[in-house]
Structure 1
Amino acid sequence: MLDRIKVAAQYCIPQHLISRLAGRFAQAEAGKLTQAAISWFIKRYKVNMSEAEQESPADYASFNAFFTRPLKAGMRPIIEGDEQLAHPVDGAVSQLGDIEQGRVFQAKGHDFSARELLGGDKALAEEFRDGKFATIYLSPSDYHRIHMPCKGTLRQMVYVPGDLFSVNPLTAQNVPNLFARNERVAAIFDTEQGPMAMVLVGATIVASIETVWAGTITPPRGKQVFSWDYHNNPITLDKGEEMGRFKLGSTVVMLFAKDAIDFAEGLSAEQTTRMGELFATRK
């Protein structure tokens, strides 16, 4: 009963207003209030600050600076080898597997359209038909920078407006079409194994999504999908290089073309991931 109430409440709350207010607080440099919020968060979510480049809450002027904190050098070594893909984030696998008839599995009884996930572009979605997907959830305690699983050249970025439901496991199991209805940014890369989509999904109180090439993605509010083409201004990122970050936590959905990769042996739903470890191998 309590779980149903939690899910139902998300349909009623002003998701965008709450997220905007959270974003204002997260970027504010409010001195002792900011330090108190960071200290509470560390204790509440058992954040391992020994991994952080700066371990003390007093080292962070804003909550955003704390939440997107860098790690100490060498804390996440990147798997070597051109055939090996690295995990892009710290988190936990929500689901992974085959894209079947253009649809991506979300949870028991729920799936969603790859075309809708990518903003409605039919030709783009066709590049991933019969390919593979992986959905990785970042909890509040995780490291929230997103890195490249392999070397790739940015071809296109797509911003898709939408809702801001929570993306935790409970919501994924109960809100239909969750990852293709929430606000999101899809980055499309050309790689040695073919096209790869990295879709950064927004959520309740996720103040913003950033990429290293465009900064904070904040198109005007509304229902319009925005797309940026990078063919004439190619941006190439190496394996393990940062490609984006969440200001407050969320989910990454990755799409790969048919016969492009095999996931690492034993990788399965609910498994913890660590950025840089073996994620998949190129076919």
Structure 2
Amino acid sequence: MRAPRTLRALPSPSTCLLRTSHQRPQFRYQQQSSRFVHMDHSGHNGRRGHQPGKRPFSTGKGGKRKQEQGEPFHRRLGRALRSTKIRWYPIPAALGIGFLGLAQLYKINEREKKARREEEGEPYRRKRIRPTGPWQVQVMSTLPLKAMSRLWGRFNELVIPYYLRVPGFKLYSWIFGVNLSEVSEPDLHAYPNLAAFFSRTLRPGVRPLDPNPSALLSPADGRVLSFGLIDGGEVEQVKGMTYSLDALLGTSHPSSAPNLSSPSHLFARETPAHHHQHVESEALVKRDEEFAILNGIRYTLPGLLSGAPSSPHPPPTDASTPSLPPSEEEVTDSLAVPWYNPPRRTALYYCVIYLAPGDYHRFHSPTAWVAEKRRHFAGELYSVSPYLQRTLPGLFTLNERVALLGRWRHGFFSMTPVGATNVGSIVINFDAELRTNSLLSDKAADKSPNGYAEATYGAASRVLHGRALGRGEEMGGFRLGSTVVLVFEAPEGEMGEKEGWDGEGQWRKGGWNWGVRNGQRVKVGEALGWVDEKV
């Protein structure tokens, strides 16, 4: 006898359809709708008119999704916020109290440090400059360029496997145009890393010096970006874009503006004897003090060379090393002026030379001169590529640089190696105390009220009171391509006509004459210009 069948669940009459087959009906309970739905053996809803292979009509999630896509975003956002359940998680009271205590302790500590600095007269740390310009400049200003340059320096010091040195250095030379025939060490296996290859030396005789003793030589291999006469303390970075000479070099007496009418006394301290000269050039100094605004920062000639005019400056350190006897003898003879030498009117000139990554990275003395002091400016490390020089005003006054100040036979002379991205390391051969792009050494320059740390070379020579540098003598180098800026005083001369003159430029009788043009490639030892000594 067969047991009677029991129905597991009784469907509601409104949701159950009549069954036309003799098969056992199956029902599935849906929790969301709380109702029973009849299911056939094919797994589809047992609705009337259903055909296999076609999706039955439904007003479920698919229809709601299509309906939601047509709604505005704010309605969907509001519905999502209303339907989302907010859950609160308890925070331990001890953790909250501890956080508030640490925050209050930090504020008290900073307030005490500020009061201590004000009492001791200690200056604040230099704030990072955020220049304005195109989006490329804005993006670059947000990057930690100095930290990236330090990391790149560490990468350059990694030892390259022996079997990869030759193909690696040849690939680099092919990309950047390095002339391997000029390298003093032809065996590329001798360079253990990229840093050693960047600071490579050249074979003797491949950079001959110009025979004209009155010529000013190129200090490095590179391209002449700009040159000319300094007018009103403004140096042309590229065509149509200038910066202040003060912001580049600094002044020895920040409380007084430079006397541009007498370049020989550009860095001399003001005395009562020279007071009338400052009065006569008051209009000229006023124009320099109101120099153009560079990226929202006011740069004047004292600001470029020595920063704020009213801030006290710590005494300079002594970084003197003995001069080489041949160089000292050469410089002494060059600076010797006969008693019958008539005074000549002088002017300030400048020249900017850009070193590409494939160029010879060491720089040499362009003439016989005396370096009296060094100023290390702890600035930024923006790229000094020609594109950025055209885009970013005052680039050389923003970047880290080492200004070497001194004199040559015609008056003031300065040579400034400028750092760049991945080129923060500037080496001066006769200055062992100099450390550029360093976390420790930059603190003195960063905290200086004038933005630089100064050192003197007065003890290097008892006669010259500075470091004697002979013509073509190696002075230092970069770790990768950068820029060298020359600012010097030379006789102004008079306009004249010279037999056989090709007509390019202006020849000045008894004065300074340029021998290069913008964009010209120059090498160490080639003449940038000369002083016409035949008066």
Q: 235, 238, 241: which is aligned to 2:473?
A: 241
- Following superposition, the deviation at residue 54 of structure 1 comes to 1.4
Q: 1:213 to 1:125 in 2, by over 3 A?
A: farther
- 1:19-168 alignment to 2 at 5 Å? 19-32=149-162, 35=165, 38-119=169-250, 121=252, 122=254, 126=259, 127=263, 130-168=347-385
Give the aligned partner of residue 457 of structure 2.
Answer: 230
Amino acid at match of 1:66: F
- Following superposition, the deviation at residue 37 of structure 1 comes to 5.1
Give the aligned partner of residue 512 of structure 2.
Answer: 262
Moved more, 147-156 or 123-132: 123-132
- Contact between 2:145 and 2:380, CA under 8 Å: does it hold in 1? yes
Give the aligned partner of residue 220 of structure 1.
Answer: 442
Give the aligned partner of residue 179 of structure 1.
Answer: 396
Distance in 1 separating the partners of 2:429 and 2:240: 36
- Following superposition, the deviation at residue 146 of structure 1 comes to 0.5
Larger relative helix fraction:
2
Distance in 1 separating the partners of 2:141 and 2:168: 27
Distance in 2 separating the partners of 1:106 and 1:188: 20
- Contact between 2:373 and 2:457, CA under 8 Å: does it hold in 1? yes
Q: What do residues 116-169 of structure 1 show as CA deviations (whole Å, max 9, x unaligned)?
A: 101355579654775100000000111111011111111011100111110011
Amino acid at match of 1:250: S
Give the aligned partner of residue 11 of structure 1.
Answer: 141
Distance in 2 separating the partners of 1:145 and 1:241: 11
Distance in 2 separating the partners of 1:73 and 1:131: 34
Amino acid at match of 1:184: R
Q: Secondary structure at the match of 1:55?
A: coil
Give the aligned partner of residue 205 of structure 1.
Answer: 422
Distance in 1 separating the partners of 2:148 and 2:163: 19
Give the number of the structure with larger relative contact order, counting CA–CA contacts within 8 Å between residues 6 or more apart: 1
Q: 1:108 to 1:281 in 2, by over 3 A?
A: closer
Q: 1:223 to 1:171 in 2, by over 3 A?
A: farther
Amino acid at match of 2:453: F
Distance in 2 separating the partners of 1:28 and 1:282: 47
- Contact between 1:29 and 1:61, CA under 8 Å: does it hold in 2? yes
- Contact between 2:183 and 2:203, CA under 8 Å: does it hold in 1? yes
Q: What do residues 75-133 of structure 1 show as CA deviations (whole Å, max 9, x unaligned)?
A: 00011232122111110001000111111011244211101101355579654775100
Amino acid at match of 1:255: V
1:276 to 2:493 alignment: no
- Contact between 1:149 and 1:239, CA under 8 Å: does it hold in 2? yes
- Contact between 2:400 and 2:424, CA under 8 Å: does it hold in 1? no
Give the aligned partner of residue 495 of structure 2.
Answer: none
Distance in 1 separating the partners of 2:239 and 2:226: 10
- Contact between 2:373 and 2:456, CA under 8 Å: does it hold in 1? yes
Q: 1:214 to 1:193 in 2, by over 3 A?
A: same
If you compute each CA radius of gyration, which structure gives the higher value, 1 or 2?
2
Distance in 2 separating the partners of 1:143 and 1:203: 16
Amino acid at match of 2:423: V
- Contact between 1:90 and 1:142, CA under 8 Å: does it hold in 2? yes
Task: Give the length in aligned residue pairs.
Answer: 280
Q: What do residues 8-27 of structure 1 show as CA deviations (whole Å, max 9, x unaligned)?
A: 43222211111000111223
Q: 1:118 to 1:181 in 2, by over 3 A?
A: same
Amino acid at match of 1:173: R
Distance in 1 separating the partners of 2:139 and 2:351: 28
Give the aligned partner of residue 269 of structure 2.
Answer: none
Q: Secondary structure at the match of 2:442?
A: coil
Q: Secondary structure at the match of 2:491?
A: coil
Amino acid at match of 1:167: V
Moved more, 98-107 or 7-16: 7-16
Distance in 2 separating the partners of 1:84 and 1:269: 18
- Contact between 1:115 and 1:124, CA under 8 Å: does it hold in 2? no
Distance in 2 separating the partners of 1:132 and 1:191: 13
Distance in 2 separating the partners of 1:33 and 1:21: 25
- Following superposition, the deviation at residue 38 of structure 1 comes to 3.4
Q: Secondary structure at the match of 1:232?
A: helix
Distance in 2 separating the partners of 1:44 and 1:89: 20
Distance in 1 separating the partners of 2:417 and 2:350: 14
Q: Unpaired segments of 5 or more residues in structure 2? A: 1-133, 267-346, 461-465, 493-510
Q: 1:185 to 1:37 in 2, by over 3 A?
A: farther
**TM-score for the superposition, normalised by structure 1:** 0.90
- Following superposition, the deviation at residue 5 of structure 1 comes to 5.2
Distance in 1 separating the partners of 2:137 and 2:531: 39
Distance in 1 separating the partners of 2:180 and 2:211: 27
Distance in 1 separating the partners of 2:422 and 2:367: 30
Distance in 2 separating the partners of 1:81 and 1:124: 36
Q: 1:75 to 1:20 in 2, by over 3 A?
A: same
Distance in 1 separating the partners of 2:353 and 2:373: 22
- Following superposition, the deviation at residue 31 of structure 1 comes to 3.3
Distance in 2 separating the partners of 1:166 and 1:12: 14
- Contact between 1:119 and 1:159, CA under 8 Å: does it hold in 2? no
